[in-house]
Amino acid sequence: MKSFWKPQTWLLCVSLLLLSVDSGAETLVIGRVADDPTKYNKVLKPLLDYVVSQTKDVGVTEGSVAMTKTIEETVQLLKARKVDWVTAGITSALIYQEKTGAEILLRTWRDGAPVYQTVFFTRQDSAIRSLKDLKGKRIALQDPHSTSAYFIPVGILRASGLRLTRLSAPEQKFPRDEIGYVFAGNELNISTWVHRGLAEVGAYNDQNWQHPQTNPEIIKKDLRIFYQHKPLPRMVEVFRKELDPGIKRRIKEVLLHADEDPAAQDALKSYSNTTKFDEFKGEAQEGLEEARRMMKFMPNELK
């Protein structure tokens, strides 16, 4: 199978050459895929430091951050036991699980919400009423890395039996029995492009739909949602397969109770405004299984 991943490696790692925890060292390494390593080092480090402070009883005394630019680079670090813990979107997490055996341990609540739903929207005056009406239409998506505004929408359309072709610009022509998708770069652009008619349809998550920064009221009043998918976990915490079970259990316990600890509040806020963590039970497990079902329809980048 042809690989999507770029051959070059781009890493920013703090003390990456230290031995992993289960080989006798006491450093817990957390990682994330991101284009801006400086930003996410500041995002991840406070919670990592808090977890380290709470896990000294199981031998963890230091924390380190590893940033990668692609999912594949993170896969390689997990396989090499150079990353112990990864915070990720659900599609990335499922790839880590499939390729390395990593465990999707906890669901992460961001801004008070544990899930989000991909929504498809169009103009109020559009004749589009369902996904089947999208043949011959253009859909604006975010970028090739977005879960709710690329991977999930494409998976939804493919699961509905629809064919898609990527466009380099909104005005590019494409087969009328397919859907042309074009990257708008960010959620505000998606809303704006649909509003202005550069694309007949847009897709992102329901929280983007409600947020005035990504869907201002002056635009939103002229738009309507015509399809909303099932809730999926917004973000999750993933741990490598070989991490010492005792350490893994202790980290899980610490994270599950972090929202109750006053000493953890600043670290949680720094961690992309995380409210709390919970386990995959009931509707959380259902969301995980729905995401797993959708994976076979995702773009080739996730194969």
Model pLDDT, residue 95 = 93
* Range list for CATH 3.40.190.10 in the chain: 11-113+234-302, 118-229
Q: Which segments of the chain does DSSP mark as H helices, in order?
A: 37-54, 71-79, 90-100, 152-159, 187-196, 206-210, 217-220, 245-257, 265-270, 283-294
φ, ψ (nearest 5 deg) of residue 121: -135, 160
pLDDT at 75 over 70: yes
Distances (CA, A) of 303 to 57, 98, 215, 226: 40, 10, 32, 29
d(CA 284, CA 287) in angstroms, rounded, equals 5
pLDDT at 302 over 60: no
For residue 180, what are the contacts with CB-CB under 8 A and spacing of at least 6? 137, 138, 139, 164, 165, 166, 167, 172, 174
pLDDT at 80 over 70: yes
- CATH number of 11-113+234-302, picked from 3.10.20.440, 3.40.50.150, 3.20.20.70, 3.40.190.10: 3.40.190.10
pLDDT at 19 over 50: no
pLDDT at 84 over 90: yes
Model pLDDT, residue 214 = 98
> CATH classification of 118-229 is 3.30.470.10, yes or no?
no
Q: Is the dihedral of CA 170, 175, 179, 181 positive or negative?
A: negative
- pLDDT tier at 293, thresholds 50, 70, 90: very high
d(CA 80, CA 240) in angstroms, rounded, equals 10
Model pLDDT, residue 17 = 31
d(CA 234, CA 107) in angstroms, rounded, equals 8
Q: Is the dihedral of CA 202, 205, 207, 208 positive or negative?
A: negative
Instruction: State pTM to two decimals.
Output: 0.82
